[in-house]
Amino acid sequence: MDGHADGVSAPATLLHLTTPGEWRTALRAGAVTPPSLAEVGFVHLSTADQVALPADRLFAGRRDLLLLAVDAATVGCEIRYEPGVPGDPDAMRFPHAYGPVPVSSVVAVSAYRPGPDGTFGAPPEPPARADHAGRLGAFADSLPRRVASAEEPVAGGIAVLQDDVPWAPALNRLLVDDGTPAQEIAAEADRVLGGAGRDHRCVTIRGTDPGPVARELGRSGWWLQHDVVLARAVDDAAPGRSAEEVPLDAEAERAEPTIDAVRALWAEAWRPDLPADDPRRVRLPDRYLVEDRGTDLRVLAVREGDLVVAAAALYLDGATAVLEAVETATPHRGRGHGNALVSGALRVAGRAGCDLLALHADAGGAPREWYVRRGFGQVGEAWSAGRTD
């Protein structure tokens, strides 16, 4: 690999422009193989300072682009810094990967949008492989944007809407920075979410100190969710006492059609304030079918006979895996099913080439310590707030 670009040390993390559909295809194939690989023999990469140039040239005005953060050291093929196309600055050399880029080299995926005038600017520097907080922040921010039906700018951030699952707060919410006043957040939520006919208001507050503005929303009647972000290396270390007696159902299955197999379990655990047959409760798991359009979502399940007694959702997103919705039916707790789900998640993530497994846990809840005993450590916090009209 040519280790220099324009006379300086090459960045450890490079960028590749793509779309959610192309990224989903790459995840299934195990490698990023755009048409350029067959046409000219390489995959186009860029540095953060360069990427706006090809974005404007090839994707002018597009509002669905993603940036793949590629760990150059693990690509496994030669990367050469070479001139771009005629018209590019003479001194600019672009990194070209002369072979497929393994999805395991993609350490983060970020949304990349043009400004109001339709042109692209330089994005923030992408996270390195060792920046676990940065990688997970990119995942949390970009996934709802990858599968959104629409995005709308709001004060301090962006609102996402997903028309296929309008009842799902995870995909119909505001993503705003912690400097945005609570009163302004509430007004923007009413304007965008209310204006789109959503019966809920939900916001994720990003930044270094989201707590104060979240608590201000709480004082005005919004519910609050304060989570810690926990992560651990994907390796062969056992996550707890042996769970061999409760193997996973086929270890991990594609989201379709196995959501239906675990729907009853999840519906019972979520929104207990609603009747068991309330569509707002029964349909909540369908959000995972939508999210599977932008990442590789697996369903983990443990059965006793024909009954699913424990389940979880596992996102595989390049080198990053995220575990969610870990639930065990109340009568079946204490039998090692949670260990089975975590063990299975580590196995599936490892086979997919992930090096990091993460999850959210209630900052004040007992499960936090349960995960810590299984090798997870805190890498960040997450604050959300909402209300139902």
Q: What amino acid is encoded at 356 in this protein?
A: L
The CB-side HSE value for 104 (13 A sphere, CA atoms) comes to 13
CA distances for 171 relative to 77, 101, 110, 161, 240, angstroms: 37, 29, 16, 6, 33
For each of the domains in the chain, give its residue range(s) and CATH number, in order of start. Answer: 4-127 (3.20.170.20), 150-223 (no CATH), 235-354 (3.40.630.30)
pLDDT digits (tens, 9 = 90+) for 289-307: 999 999 999 999 888 888 8
Give the list of residues 6+ apart from residue 226 with CB closer than 8 angstroms, or none. 211, 214, 362, 363, 364, 381, 382, 383
Q: In what order do the strands lie in the sheet with 93-97?
A: 43-44, 93-97, 79-83
Compute, in degrees rounded to 10, the torsion defined by CA atoms 255, 261, 272, 218: -10
- Tell me the C-alpha to C-alpha distance, in Å, between residue 58 and each of 16, 159, 187, 297: 13, 26, 37, 30
Predicted structure pTM score: 0.92
The predicted-structure confidence for 322-353, as pLDDT tens digits, reads as follows 999 999 999 999 988 999 899 889 999 999 99
Name the band, by pLDDT with cuts 50, 70 and 90, for residue 236: low
Residue 92 pLDDT exceeds 70: yes
